[in-house]
Amino acid sequence: MEDTIAAIATPPGMGGIGIIRVSGPKSKDIARLLFRPSTKTDVFKTHHLYHGDIVIPETGRVIDEVLVSLFTKPHSHTGEDTLEINCHGGAVILQTVLTEVIRAGARLAEPGEFTKRAFLNNRIDLSRAEAVFDMITAKTETGLELAVSQFKGNLAGKIGAIHCAVVDILATLEASIDFSDDDVDVMDASGIADTLQSIVHDLHALASTYREGKIFKDGVSAVITGRPNVGKSSLLNRLLGEKRAIVTPVPGTTRDFIEEMINIGGIPVRLTDTAGIRKPENLIEEEGIHLVREKLAAADMVIVVLDGSEALSSDDIKLIKENLTKKLLPVVNKTDLPRVLDDKALKRLLPGEVPPPLEISAKFGDGIPELKDSIRSLVLSGSVDHAPDYIVTNIRHKTAIEKTSTLLIKARDTILAGISPEFAAFDVREALDCLDEITGKTTNEEVLDRIFSTFCIGK
């Protein structure tokens, strides 16, 4: 890569510090042209911080007082000469400095181009590069923990160990091919088949973590629904710990839906408070209920709120029956009022896989911790532990692992059938290519462009 790239590396807006990152062969020249150190120096030492001013070369006008650091290749994030300019964090300052950097010979970086260069220069593998994006976009501490684990190479290490085991099998197969005309028996077919089966078992275990990993990384959507005035908005406010939705005793107060994100046991849960389900009284309410139906159809789970101070209505029954195909969590609200709802009638509506109804008071907060526990348990299907060292959060990785497993099973069956080892060796080579897709050894340019296009500019 002969060109030099530059971008603002900090979020837009005002702040104490704003950073402009430059990477490429002209980084040193740009530093010498634009930076005037407060203590005269002819040599910029790598990994040192220098104080001074950024100036416009033609006029000498000072743009900002800054700190700069130069990282010489290959000991930088990108593996290239890299310059970082720490400015005051104002939008005009940063844009003005960036303009001068580009005038000095850089070009504006594309999304994710710094991380892409780090990958192309063998500073990080592709799985670690993808983890950079996951770290930036993590919604909870658990999601961040998983991303950091992947960035530190834990997944790559596990894939590397499996890769080595598969290479050993391929070496044995190829040796048996080379000595096929001799009387030397170099292949224990049964032993190789057992080893392949053990590797497949490890791959299946790894792939099976994807569902849980995706939940911790991307989160789930939970729609709070029920007929009007059962306490849906009060429940949303209670879960959020703040007054986000308007609460009145007037049925039909909520016309549109309200969405907020909440962290429940490390899981990002997007809560949606919806309009009450009933026969609409006007066009506005009709449109609101139509939006509820759309949200329910797309939801990962549905929280049906019932009023414990009233008998089950036909609307309650209909709403429960309509959502039995979803992950359903029935909640009986208003435990602070005299009980009227028939518990036996409610339980008869619920099949065995639906959790028992939870009793809460959204007004006073009773039962809310238990509700959060139930949401987490329902989302994870009862599995609440995770192994961050080897958890898969990326569908690309899961697909590659499954393809590898399929090819190794095919090779195992070929060996057990007594077919010539050339055929098994072919499948094993393809399996290695699939594993290499995860770390980027065999990933094509189109896939790389698609991955890094999702990054922000400056990362």
Q: Over the stretch 264-284, which tens digit does the pLDDT of each residue have? A: 999 999 998 886 655 555 555
Segment 387-398 mean pLDDT: 82
pLDDT at 164 over 50: yes
- Is there a contact between 459 and 112 (Cβ–Cβ < 8 Å)? yes
Phi-psi region of 28 (alpha: psi -120 to 50; beta: other; left: phi over 0): alpha
pLDDT of 380 above 50: yes
Higher per-residue confidence, 302 vs 253:
302
Segment 160-169 mean pLDDT: 94
Q: What is the pLDDT of residue 275?
A: 67
pLDDT score for 376: 92
pLDDT at residue 370 above 70? yes
Options 1.10.10.10, 1.10.540.10, 3.20.20.70, 1.20.120.430; CATH of 129-209+391-440: 1.20.120.430
- pTM (2 d.p.): 0.82
Q: What's the CATH superfamily of 216-379?
A: P-loop containing nucleotide triphosphate hydrolases (3.40.50.300)
In a 13 Å sphere around the CA of 268, the CA atoms on its Cβ side amount to 18
Superfamily of domain 5-123: Probable tRNA modification gtpase trme; domain 1 (3.30.1360.120)
Q: Give tens-digit pLDDT for 227-250.
A: 888 988 889 999 988 776 544 454
- Domain boundaries along the sequence of the chain: 5-123, 129-209+391-440, 216-379
What are the tens digits of pLDDT across the range 419-440?
888 999 999 999 999 999 999 8
Q: Evaluate if residue 443 carries a pLDDT over 80.
A: no
Residue 286 has pLDDT above 80, yes or no: no
Angle among Cα 162, 165, 171 to the nearest 5 degrees reads: 140
Q: Output the CA torsion sign for 155, 158, 160, 166.
A: negative
* pLDDT, the chain, mean: 88
Length of the chain (residues): 459
Domains 5-123 and 129-209+391-440 share a fold: no
408 near 166, Cβ under 8 Å? Answer: yes
3-state SS of 328-379 is EEEEEECCCCCCCCCHHHHHHHCCCCCCCCEECECCCCECHHHHHHHHHHHH
